[in-house]
Amino acid sequence: MSQLNPIAAPYTTAPIDWNAIRADFPLIAGHDLIYFDNAASSQKPKVFLEAMENMVKNSYANVHRGVHRLSQQATDQYEAARKTVAKFINAADEAEVVFTGGTTDSINTLAYSFGEAHIQPGDEILLSGMEHHANIVPWQLMAERKGAHIKVIPVLENGSLDLEALDALMGPKTKLLSLVWVSNSLGTVNPIPYLIQKAHAYGIPVMVDAAQAAPHMPIDVQAIDCDFLAFSAHKMCGPTGLGVLYGKRHLFEPLPPYRGGGDMIDRVRFEKTTFQGLPFRFEAGTPHILGAVAFASVLAYLSNIGMRQIEARERQLSSSFRQQLQQNFPEVNAIGTAADSVSVVSFLVKGHHPMDVGVLLDNQNIAVRTGHHCCQPLMDRFGIPGTVRASLAFYNTEEEIERFFVALRKTIQLLR
Ligand code: PLP
């Protein structure tokens, strides 16, 4: 764990029956498939299906607009889901939790709305060299519209951020720092609390891309003091098409809406429309009602296991994976060896395209991801076309890792 992470607490060691937990996931339990593509999307537990089924059978209707009983029940469940998310990330107020279509949608929303409110020609947005395209392109689109510029924190050879470059990159023109917490390509855990403190010392608000952090560690938005934070439900055992944009009320609420229609209005006239406050201001149209309600059940399930326990297990699995890879496979180059990392291990088999490795692993029933992982600037930084990425979740096992290495050995022999 990073020395720069002052809020990290020691891990607990309460015994957990991880085999019983694995049995909760119908697509992997008892199947031969080794699923190491969790950073792309994670598998779904039975509670997710049960929550969907329960609502479909008992209390489904559109929310907010109906006087009838079903609509009120659905509204109660949808708003209860918002409360569950707020509790999960320790937001001060559930109105600070906006449901979106996912991390990409959250960042597009913020880039548009923040840009309209605060960005003038010549202003700067600070990103890092390890961002997912979802945390680059929305800012570029906004910067082009507004005449602003993108600045980039460099990435060091080991896949960590060059913190010494920070002071030279932050100044009066910097209007926002938008930064990934855990890299989806390298697994690097950035020292987010430190970076937020640093940016705040310059009066710069911070948006955290927590797409790969929220599935793997406890999130406390008040403790880290981030201004905005985004994540996707489908990477944390929940539904696709649902995400969260958290924002501190005093910064979030004054921003102009991104999309119009549905619950975001206060009063519509052809001359002028007025808008709701948080959270409805940013939830135009019918939301993902079933998804939000099922996601709340999944968050209760994860909280019941304990996010600290999940983090400890995933750190242990991925560091054991990383160690064995480095010790036993001289034919392999690990990409990203930062001291603090979780879940993701990226590598190349020397002299071979990652796609060939991925196909041969798939032939042995192992799902990994190959390619640039939506991080082309990061791949350019390392001068590589992409990597083979194994990304682990708490329901993976040491035994799967052993079987993976047998399959990797065979793959390397076949490639020769
Ligand atoms: N940010 C990071 C770090 C990611 O890993 C991803 C997805 O892989 C995204 C953003 C985009 O998430 P989504 O496709 O769910 O919007």
CA-closest residue to ligand 1 atom 4: 211
Short-list 170, 162, 192, 132, CA closest to 369: 132
Which residues are near ligand 1 (CB < 6 Å)?
39, 102-104, 132, 134-135, 180, 184, 209, 211-212, 232
Short-list 286, 146, 130, CA closest to 138: 146
Q: Residue 259 pLDDT > 70, yes or no?
A: yes
CATH number, domain containing residue 389: 3.90.1150.10
Confidence of residue 30 (pLDDT cuts 50, 70, 90): confident
Verify whether residue 375 is a known catalytic residue. no
> In the chain, what percentage of residues exceed pLDDT 70?
97
Residues 6+ apart with CB under 8 A from 97: 82, 85, 86, 89, 91, 244, 246, 279
| In a shared domain, residues 251 and 323 | no
Confidence of residue 7 (pLDDT cuts 50, 70, 90): very low
- Ligand 1 nearest-atom number relative to CA 106: 16
Of the three residues 276, 304, 332, the one that is the final residue of a domain is: 304
Quote the pLDDT of residue 6. Answer: 40
| In a shared domain, residues 141 and 235 | yes
Confidence of residue 401 (pLDDT cuts 50, 70, 90): very high
- Ligand 1 nearest-atom number relative to CA 105: 16
> Is residue 48 situated within a structural domain?
no
**8 A C-beta contact, residue 117 and residue 107:** no
Segment 136-142 mean pLDDT: 98
Q: Characterise 269 by phi-psi region: left (phi > 0), alpha (psi -120 to 50), beta (else).
A: beta
| In a shared domain, residues 254 and 341 | no
- Mean pLDDT, rounded, of the chain: 95
Of the three residues 304, 330, 355, the one that is the final residue of a domain is: 304
> Which of 7-21, 116-130, 243-257, 271-285 is predicted least confidently?
7-21
| In a shared domain, residues 321 and 232 | no
| In a shared domain, residues 395 and 321 | yes
| In a shared domain, residues 295 and 202 | yes
> In the chain, what percentage of residues exceed pLDDT 90?
95
> Phi and psi dihedrals of 231, rounded to 5?
-155, 170
Segment 85-103 mean pLDDT: 98
> Is residue 189 situated within a structural domain?
yes
> Which of 7-21, 39-53, 80-94, 134-148 is predicted least confidently?
7-21
Quote the pLDDT of residue 89. Answer: 98
Indicate whether this model's pTM tops 0.85.
yes
Active-site position among 226, 237, 374, 375? 374
> Is residue 219 situated within a structural domain?
yes
What is the residue range of 386's domain? 18-36+306-415
